[in-house]
Structure 1
Amino acid sequence: GEPIAIYADSVLLLRYFRKAEKSSVILYPIRESNPRSLAWPSHLRPLDQRGNTDIKRPKFVHPWFIIFDVSVRCYQDYVIEQSVVDAAPSTELEEQSTSTVDAEAAAAAAVQNGEPVEEPPKRNGMNQKMLKRMETVPDIKRDTSGITTQYIATGIVNLGAFAAGVCVAWSSSALPLLITEPFEPPSPTRDIIAIENTTPTLLPPPHTKLSLTPSEASWVASLLCLGALWGAGPAGLISEYFGRKKTLLYLALPLVVSWILVASSPNVYGLYVGRFVGGMALGAFSVGIPPYVEDIAEKHILPTLANFYHVHFSCGVLFGYIIGLVENTSWLTVLCASVPTAFFVAFIFLPESPAYLMSQGKFHEAKAALRYFRGIDNDIDSEMKALKERLRNSAKIKVTFKELFGTRSTVKALVVSFFLMVFQQMSGIFPVLFYAKNIFETFAISLNPPSAAIILGFCFVSSTYFSTMLLKVVRRRILLMISFAAMAVNLACLGIYYHLKASNFSPSSTWVPLFTLCLFVSFYASGVGPIPWLMLREIFPPHMTRRATALTAGFHWFLAFCVTKFYQNLVDMVKHGWTLWAFCIVCIVGIAFVFFFVPETKGRTLEEIQNEFEGIHKKRKHRHVIEVESVSEA
């Protein structure tokens, strides 16, 4: 613990080194099992290296990694000291250390004289192999592979998807508290069940400032999707200009503003504006989150991390159904506004996308960001070279929306993605999620509607998580057809039940509506929900993927707006039974479309998929020419 030497400032030549004034460099002896540098590098930095960013500490090192690294180092020192103390008495340590030095000196002399050297005995009761093994214990920063960091970063950025799911579930929880008229004429059966499910309470009924008609309520619900249509289009271009992180980070601000407008609006027009502004942030999240995840994720875990968007979206829907038990619109809005606030606070600590930093010429920052996501021990030089090459090629090939319609294969890929979105939205998933509480009240289930909505949300979350593992083993086309078929069966069963109930052939209180709707959302989350978004990265070339995603996302939100808005008009015209049958027919047509026009993408290269688009389901005839040599008799 005593210093070996102390060098004053005058000893170091300030002509060649940068030295802190009025400070000295103290050189301590090092331990053999835990080597440390003799001087802090910043005290001995030459002047010609000032401004050289290669020797700087990585910018994006999380404080928890530093704290954990210090803890591991202290634990290593403690283990070594304890092993030394346990192996020999404290009075013999100096003698053993002296004998060890003498033995090393004797061995060195023997080597010079050419004499054989005996193997040194155990030091302090410990084997040399054990000491060498303890010397090579890696630090925590070098031991991390970056996988955990990528999972945590993906979970944080997908809090935006969680906020989007809360926006969708708000309609189911809040609109029944604001609507002055029921969705259907009152029936004695539903009124009796509502009275039975009502629990006595000492609190007064919730007071709301606004009273909406069913038509106004449908606008409040559907304007979220219309705002998402306008937010999804420019989000990709904005993120390429300002950066992935800045774009996603600042999207939390309009989302918070939208919840403030919804909470403090004195009339229905404030609700319209608030929902539209929130929808713009929702649509931008749907386009901006996948590219950020694609930039930070390794290839072998990218499909799993890409499905985090759907998992978090479903979790947000479940959270919105749970807070619907509050039955107070003011507190409901406050709880919803806490989600984008948490996203802003958590996401601000993550670095920018390495690909964006590289495209802006910030090579050292891009390398530090990539090192943050890959771990200290991994070699990122090859990945940096591949990233540079990809950016160089993308700079040569500037893709516009017009070029998506330039070739036959890209046009067919765009048609496939558009029709998959058509069948996805026309299956009726958004009306079920937006009006879950009112649907359960219409079918007069024995369970109270808020609790039934929570069960529905739980099935939605569990099925979405299960699809993450299912997509690894099942082919895309098979999973899509099974999903569409199961959704059609459940919609048909629910439609038959509604007609039987209307004809008084079925008991008024049963578990059939809840069971069929839970199966409906479960099969949707297992296939029809995530696969169309997943296939966008598989059927388009890499330089066209983001333009195609922005265009498809805009079309997706336009369809969602149409279905959500006109669902109530369709119910008023033909009632719930025939509306369910219309959704069922759409699912059946979706099965036929997948069978005849959607190519299989799992385990296939982009070239094979593009070749199939060039001649989709058309068998080419091959001409075989056989040369026959005739032998004439002599």
Structure 2
Amino acid sequence: MDEQSTSTVDADAAHSVDHEPDNKNGHTHPKILQRLATVPDIKRDTSGITTQYIGAGIVNLGALAAGVCVAWSSTALPLLAPGYGETHTVRPDVSSEMTTPAAVVHNIVQNKISLTESEASWAASLLCLGAVWGSVPAGLISEYFGRKKTLLYLALPLLISWILVASSPNVYGLYVGRFVSGIAVGALSVAIPPYVEDIAEKQQLKTLANFYHVHFSCGVLFGYIIGLVENTSWLSVLCATIPIAFFVAFIFLPESPAYLMSQGKFHEAKAALRYYRGIDNDIDGEIKALREFLRFSAKNRVTFKELFGTTATLKALVVSFGLMIFQQMSGIYPILFYARKIFEKFGISLYPPSAAIILGFSLVSSTYFSTMLLKVVRRRVLLMISFSVMALNLGGLAIYYHMKASNMTTNNTWIPLLTLCLFVSFYAAGVGPIPWLMLREIFPPNVTRRATAITAGVHWFLAFGVTKLYQNLEDLIKPGWTLWHFSVTCLIGTLFVFFFVPETKGRTLQEIQNEFEGIHKKKRHRHVIEVESVSEA
């Protein structure tokens, strides 16, 4: 890099931090080396790939914690239903005059909090409402305080929320705990991807970016598995171990190189990038590109209001909002939040918690394989297939419910289980990850962070509405017609993708922006004129 550009960046950052000078040999300042010495060297990873994978895995423990929060409703709410209690063995007082054998040991049922169906729907959906308030400002907070600090501090409200859920003497404490956990979940959904994007090499980014969805699905599965405990207090204790593990593991990783450089801490930024690139990679070119990107972002920073200023950005927002609308209106969150209750309602012979675990396995496996599908299948094709198959499975389940309600068929295990497993599998393969992936493909880099914050807010607000109104819709038109409603929504989502969503795989940002602007570049015709040179006789 030339001296002029270097001095420009140094001057821009001088107001924010003091520079740490190099020592006489031109190496990083000893204090920086001392701090980085506390970061574990992962078997001297020379290429940096292993370090990037482990770093992305650790930071996405936050996504694992978010998935556990979602699964809690399926496992805990049936235990808090009226009439459900925990059986305790009670021994009589020695001083008691009762001497009959029946008084030696007897059982009583001791109820804790008992939730009506309306209260249970609030306990489930308040997580999503809190996520709205956490997702929108999370990007700005991480830019000001730093990616690492923001993520570390989010472990605290998660831990507090589980303490409130476990110890609350009434339903209102439970509401507060769920809302607080929702704030953390929403903030994590916005704050985790930028950190992964900052530490990942370009060729590894698409794979590492999908770690969020894989870990989130694993969190849902973990929440279903611990539901076998059937004790709300122990459920909260087990759930609280995830944010604790996230905090302990993540505290050893370095700060985001991009954030450090934006604060003028160039030596620390270079050391952090070196940690994630290994000792074999030359990072000077990447450092130069990062400086240029930060300079460009600073000069072209947009406000939330300016997002609606250009035709291309406005149409991109319509596409991202539309995908989130049909994603949530498909009914995925009610199915994940009320999985055990749905299986009980369909009267399957399989133990409902076990059926929920099978559903969780389907979600995890499909999310994992979606990483490979996204590399070979075009976005629009995968979205349309995903929406269509989801609609077919919901319609099939609705038909089964009507037949069962009319006594045309007996209770069956495999039909509800198979249809719901296929539903979540195709959701995880397309409708789940692609709307988030396309945020990086249809928006310019200087717009992506704010567009992601707004889109995440829309996502969680819709999740709150659908989850809260699911119980009301089920009471109003019965489960069968509720499933038909979700099925028809998926079909409309297929049409929306066909008519409005552009293909982004293998296309440049400029080509996508031109399509939004209505600019269609015509192919240039090349006229080839062959001139034969005649040699003089």
TM-score interval w.r.t. the shorter chain?
Answer: 0.7 to 0.9
Q: Are 1:177 and 2:79 counterparts?
A: yes
Instruction: Give the RMSD, CA atoms, in angstroms.
Output: 2.2
The answer as to whether partners of 2:48 and 2:277 remain within 8 angstroms in 1 is yes
How big is each residue's C-alpha offset from its partner over 1:278-310, in whole Å with a ceiling of 9 and x where there is no partner?
000000000000000000001111010000000
The answer as to whether partners of 2:165 and 2:174 remain within 8 angstroms in 1 is yes
**Cα 1:550–1:181 shift into 2, 3 Å:** farther
Partner of 2:530: none
| Letter matched to residue 596 of structure 1 | F
Partner of 2:357: 454
How big is each residue's C-alpha offset from its partner over 1:577-604, in whole Å with a ceiling of 9 and x where there is no partner?
0000000000000010100110000010
Please give the alpha-carbon distance, in whole angstroms, between the structure 2 residues aligned to 1:394 and 1:603: 24
Q: Tell me whether 49-58 or 420-429 shows the greater mean CA deviation.
A: 49-58
Partner of 1:95: none
Q: Equivalences for 1:252-271 in 2 at 5 Å? A: 252-271=155-174
- Higher CA-based Rg: 1
Partner of 1:239: 142
Q: Are 1:554 and 2:457 counterparts?
A: yes
The answer as to whether partners of 1:238 and 1:247 remain within 8 angstroms in 2 is yes
The answer as to whether partners of 1:61 and 1:372 remain within 8 angstroms in 2 is no
Please give the alpha-carbon distance, in whole angstroms, between the structure 2 residues aligned to 1:204 and 1:312: 41
Per-residue deviation, 1:385: 0.5
Partner of 2:259: 356
Partner of 1:524: 427
| Letter matched to residue 270 of structure 1 | G
Per-residue deviation, 1:62: 6.1
Please give the alpha-carbon distance, in whole angstroms, between the structure 2 residues aligned to 1:65 and 1:572: 57
Per-residue deviation, 1:508: 1.7
Per-residue deviation, 1:523: 0.4
The answer as to whether partners of 1:53 and 1:364 remain within 8 angstroms in 2 is no
Q: Equivalences for 1:459-470 in 2 at 5 Å? A: 459-470=362-373
Please give the alpha-carbon distance, in whole angstroms, between the structure 2 residues aligned to 1:203 and 1:513: 40
Unaligned 5+ segments in structure 2 are: 1-21, 85-104, 528-537
User: Among 392, 399, 411, which residue is 2:295 paired with?
Assistant: 392
How big is each residue's C-alpha offset from its partner over 1:175-210, in whole Å with a ceiling of 9 and x where there is no partner?
00001179xxxxxxxxxxxxxxxxxxx997884410
**Cα 1:322–1:208 shift into 2, 3 Å:** farther
Secondary structure of the equivalent of 1:471?
helix
Q: Equivalences for 1:60-459 in 2 at 5 Å? A: 60-61=36-37, 65=41, 141=44, 144-180=46-82, 207-459=110-362
Partner of 2:17: none
Please give the alpha-carbon distance, in whole angstroms, between the structure 2 residues aligned to 1:207 and 1:514: 33
The answer as to whether partners of 1:207 and 1:328 remain within 8 angstroms in 2 is no
Partner of 1:132: none
The answer as to whether partners of 2:39 and 2:254 remain within 8 angstroms in 1 is no
Please give the alpha-carbon distance, in whole angstroms, between the structure 1 residues aligned to 2:191 and 2:398: 38
Please give the alpha-carbon distance, in whole angstroms, between the structure 2 residues aligned to 1:395 and 1:289: 22
**Cα 1:378–1:61 shift into 2, 3 Å:** farther
Partner of 2:512: 609
The answer as to whether partners of 1:206 and 1:327 remain within 8 angstroms in 2 is no
Secondary structure of the equivalent of 1:65?
coil
Secondary structure of the equivalent of 2:390?
helix
Partner of 2:28: 54
**Cα 1:317–1:203 shift into 2, 3 Å:** farther
Partner of 1:133: none
Per-residue deviation, 1:509: 2.9
| Letter matched to residue 449 of structure 1 | P
Please give the alpha-carbon distance, in whole angstroms, between the structure 2 residues aligned to 1:203 and 1:225: 42
Partner of 1:127: none
Partner of 1:574: 477
How big is each residue's C-alpha offset from its partner over 1:108-162, in whole Å with a ceiling of 9 and x where there is no partner?
xxxxxxxxxxxxxxxxxxxxxxxxxxxxxxxxx4x61000000000000000000
The answer as to whether partners of 2:40 and 2:252 remain within 8 angstroms in 1 is no
The answer as to whether partners of 1:208 and 1:329 remain within 8 angstroms in 2 is no
Partner of 1:21: none
TM-score by length of 1: 0.74
The answer as to whether partners of 1:146 and 1:374 remain within 8 angstroms in 2 is yes
**Cα 1:226–1:64 shift into 2, 3 Å:** closer
Please give the alpha-carbon distance, in whole angstroms, between the structure 1 residues aligned to 2:346 and 2:174: 28
The answer as to whether partners of 1:206 and 1:328 remain within 8 angstroms in 2 is no
Secondary structure of the equivalent of 1:564?
helix
The number of aligned residues is: 483
Per-residue deviation, 1:575: 0.6
Unaligned 5+ segments in structure 1 are: 1-47, 69-140, 183-201, 627-634
TM-score by length of 2: 0.87
How big is each residue's C-alpha offset from its partner over 1:227-253, in whole Å with a ceiling of 9 and x where there is no partner?
000000110110000000000000000
Partner of 1:480: 383
